Structure 1
């Protein structure tokens, strides 16, 4: 082998050895002890975020024991954490409600069940136990305003984390419907529940000018029960304002009425129809505690809500 050939072979071997050492040393430092193949595997195994498909529930009502069956791709829509129906309601839904009204008129022993859905991460700013029930009541009021009898409507709420809004936080059709036959045996239970509300009315303590009312779970349930009694028995909500005996009695009667009207506005905002609510004031004339103490006066400054 000539000296020149040995020289070139030496260069080639140097390049090969240098490349091997570079790959080994660089990968050990840059990629960790498992080498560059591990880094490549890690890069390839990156999981892309799970993009959920927007839920779009159809407006579907069927009577398993009758011949009523309608289905439209449109439905009642809501914004997340809200219970007001988004306007406008589609023409298909309007036509469906008209057909439902006719069917219920022809079948007075039938009722329509409305179940509103809500997600666990939504804020419940309604007066009802959950946002699903508030949505169902909003749809109920829409039906009532389109001449469906409230006595043929039942409302429910249900948790459903499977519903997915769009990028604008719109929930498409978070409600479902069903048709049932009225069970006459439920009437006695309903009347008993309404009698319990008469005996134990909802009592609110707040100041005129308050922007909102914070309700306990028990108070929310009372409002839901009262709404049910109004719908089924045709009774009205009675909202009575009370004050302590501080100041002029005539002015306190006016103040009590303002408090009652504020509570009425809150109920109307939460979907209870205005014409089902009657307000009045007893001012300082019906105390429930001793006006000689501040604690007693605070108890007397109240608004009571019950049914007639």
Structure 2
């Protein structure tokens, strides 16, 4: 047990240590808001997409194809907690439909880029890269489409403009572009060489530390502002209930062991900042979503460690 805890600490401590450094740098005023915005844009727009491209281009693809159980396990858990989050918001906290959708979305949508990529690559290495990035490619479009249709469709009906906006957002999303480019490079057998390879390596190497510092800066910008009841419920659904459902399903559905573990850890990630951004767009549930992002990120240090112990990550 002690040896396993030591091994897990080597995975978890550097990740949350860099998040803490970013938070303290913002709290002390050493890095200001414009630095947070610039670093976040660099991470999301360049460094992490290049990291994804490089990892996928060099990854070993599964010979037997993608296991269907992987998708069923993850999204069954995601939509169950989405539904529980919505019902709880309406029945327990008396929120309207739009805010209930925001809280459901926050309960099922994971922080994949800023926490998921560093932790899963650190824990599972190249073997975890393919299931991780395939799930990222599907996770964002599915969750965003469902949340947008539920939030806007109920109020004004599903419009062509809504789908056009979603289509543009997804078509030019840098993370998805990195996934598509990496997949194409893998299919055609292209691997960067020479100066280009060195450049790609340097950009990719900056992705993880910059993402974690950027998240720490963001947490200071989106503090726990109140509405703690919904935030606690969202955090519990995201960090405990979602991975618990996925864990149970991955034990009975067919998939390679590494894919099963990646699905559970992916589900155990804290709430993504997209929940806060969606709340801002609809001007409802902003306080609850901001509090849930910060609270779930802080609590995930302990819950992710527990899930690593359960999974036997060493």
TM-score range for the pair, normalised by the shorter chain length: under 0.3
Give the structure with higher Rg (CA): 1
Greater relative contact order, per chain length (Cα 8 Å cut-off, separation 6+): 2
As a proportion of its length, which structure holds more helix?
A: 2
| Higher-strand-fraction structure | 1
The TM-score normalised by the length of structure 1 is 0.23
What is the TM-score of this pair, normalised by structure 2? 0.22
